[in-house]
Amino acid sequence: MRELLKVIIFHYLLQGLAGDQLNIPHTNHLDEDFSKDGCLSYCLSEVKPIVIGLNQLKERDAINKLNEKIHNLENELEMYKLQLTHKENQVKARDSLLNEKDESIKAKNELLVAKDEQFQDYRAQIEEKNLELLKYKLQDIPHSSLYADGIHRMKVGNLPAFQVSYLSSSPDWIVIQRRIDGSVDFDRDWLDYKNGFGDIEGNFFIGLEKLHLLTQSRPHELYIQLRDVKGTAKYARYDDFHVSSENDNYKLNSIGKFSGTAGDSLVDHVGDMFTTRDQDHDTARFNCAKNKRGGWWYHDCLHSNLNAEYHDEGYDPNRDGISWGSWSGDWNYTISLTFTQMMIRPSLK
């Protein structure tokens, strides 16, 4: 009997393990088998608990599998959560980077605006300076400022420092020649004209070597103030005054463009070398300086000579006085001017 039971259980297990569903009809079938054999009540009482146990085992197995699935799903969910967190962190990092770049762009924009404002400011300053320069360039010296009233020291080239006279109202102009009366003789030798002579507070000539060094160091303007015995004042102005070296006998190299009220009586002297009573570099048969009693840039001989003999009465019938031919409309050389002042300053060119 026990053997039969084992066979039945084995049979049942095979059915169960083959994938059959353990349900009541199946058990009923077993009941029938058992009844045929005459062990119905006994067999059932022995087998049923086993079958039920097996069913329970199967259910537990299914639950375990479900639990395992749930566990796997939970793991997957956790992994997705981790991935999501990672992605969120990445997005945050990118947002932060974008914000930083935004800030950087803003800062650069602000810098550009500041630079632009600075540029506008510089441009305004340049325009203002240009206006000042234009004013400086066009400004004429008032006739009331006839006498230079300032003295300061100057140094140029290898020459010892020397005193120069300037207009305190226009301190950039320094005086290179002045005639106010006949107290200083201008009929002098080459060496005097080279080095300068006279009294810088009165009648004087600054010296050709200084003129050369000053005007070769940078371009200079020349401003000539003139006055006659009647008190009429006029001026002549040139924008590029340059005296050559002693090797060229201090040739009047250039004077530039003329402007002024006295007319241009110097243009015909451009290219003339300097002549003194002891050094004749003019084109006349004789020595013009000896004849006119003063050194100048003569040709054969002159259209102007501001270093000629001084005449208090403002007149010389011999036409040898301090002359500026274009002073009068008819080039009257009997007029001898009673005040001259030649000034130079660095040009803006």
Task: List contacts with Ca ion (CB under 5 A).
Answer: 280, 282, 284
Minimum CB separation of residue 241 from Ca ion in Å reads 24
CA–CA separation, 341 vs 225, rounded Å? Answer: 5
Q: What one-character-per-residue DSSP string does 93-119 give?
A: HHHHHHHHHHHHHHHHHHHHHHHHHHH
Q: In angstroms, rounded to a whole number, what is the distance separating the alpha carbons of residues 22 and 53? A: 11
CB of 248 to Ca ion, least distance (A): 16
Q: Of 241 and 296, which CB lies nearer to Ca ion in the complex structure?
A: 296
Per residue in 37-56, is it b (16+ CB within 10 Å) or e — as a string? eebeeebbebbeeebeebee
Give the H or E element holding residue 179: strand 170-179
**Least distance in Å: CB of 229 to Ca ion?**
31
Nearer to Ca ion by Cβ, of 221 and 282: the residue is 282
Coil, helix or strand at residue 242: strand
Buried b (16+ CB within 10 A) or exposed e, 205-227: bbbbbbbbbbbbeebbbbbbbbb
Least distance between Ca ion and beta carbon 280 (Å): 4
Supply the minimum distance, in Å, between the C-beta of residue 211 and Ca ion. Answer: 22
Cβ count within 10 A of residue 114? 10
Q: Which two tokens stand for residue 66?
A: 């479900």
Nearer to Ca ion, 220 or 281 (CB): 281
Nearer to Ca ion, 233 or 284 (CB): 284
Q: Of 187 and 240, which CB lies nearer to Ca ion in the complex structure?
A: 187
